[in-house]
Amino acid sequence: MRKLGILIIAMLMASVGVNAQEYTKSTVKGIANGFISTLMQGNLKGSLFFFDPKYVAEQHDSFLEGRTEQFVEEFLSGNYKKGFYDITPELSRIKSMKVKKTCCDLQKDEIYADVKIVMDYGVKYIVRLKLIVTESGDLRFIGAVG
């Protein structure tokens, strides 16, 4: 089952990376949904495929010394109650994730998916997952470093 999931992810990303000029809101939503599906299946290593390789090398490999769970939890950090409370979710406590809005404006360098995360203890918040077009033309997630 895990091999099938990885194959599906690889096929999705291969079809997405054909031409950066063809990226649309629905492309961004498809990538975000693939990432969400991978996470909800508990495939942390598979989730790294959705990130910019340079970002993974700098933040995950170097700064966090390969701590994948911490890397993904920090990537999904956000705030709730109108920005008054910050949250870094424990992955095991995420009840659901759903794409609420996407943007793909290459001219303005704005590519993102707003994802609603619901925790098993009732907290709900939206996190903006930013994407970039990599040197190879793929669309991948990127976050803060440090």
For residue 131, the domain's CATH number is 3.10.450
Q: Which residue has the higher pLDDT, 14 or 84?
A: 84
Is residue 100 a contact partner of residue 112, using CB atoms and an 8 Å limit?
A: no
Average pLDDT, the chain: 88
Residue 43 domain-assigned?
yes
Residue 69 domain-assigned?
yes
Is residue 112 a contact partner of residue 131, using CB atoms and an 8 Å limit?
A: yes
pTM for the model stands at 0.83
Would you state the structure tokens that stand for residue 88, as one six-digit string?
Answer: 């870094």
pLDDT for res 2: 55
User: According to the 3-state scheme, what is the secondary structure of 94-131?
Assistant: EEEEEEEEEEEECCCCEEEEEEEEEECCCCEEEEEEEE
CA 46, 141, 99: angle at the middle one, nearest 5?
85
Residue 82, SS3 per DSSP: coil
pLDDT for res 51: 98
Q: State the number of CA atoms in the 13 A half-sphere of 64 facing the CB.
A: 19
Residues 26-57: pLDDT tens digits? 999 999 999 999 999 999 999 999 999 999 99
Task: Read off the pLDDT band of 18 (50, 70, 90).
Answer: very low
pLDDT for res 134: 92
Would you state the structure tokens that stand for residue 86, as one six-digit string?
Answer: 């910050």
CA 113, 127, 129: angle at the middle one, nearest 5?
40
21 has a pLDDT exceeding 70:
no
Task: Read off the pLDDT band of 9 (50, 70, 90).
Answer: low
Count of domains for the chain: 1
118 has a pLDDT exceeding 80:
yes
80 has a pLDDT exceeding 80:
yes
Q: Which residues pair with 136 in a beta bridge?
A: none
82 has a pLDDT exceeding 80:
no
Residue 79, SS3 per DSSP: strand
Q: Could you tell me the residue range of the domain that residue 92 belongs to?
A: 2-141
Residue 146 domain-assigned?
no
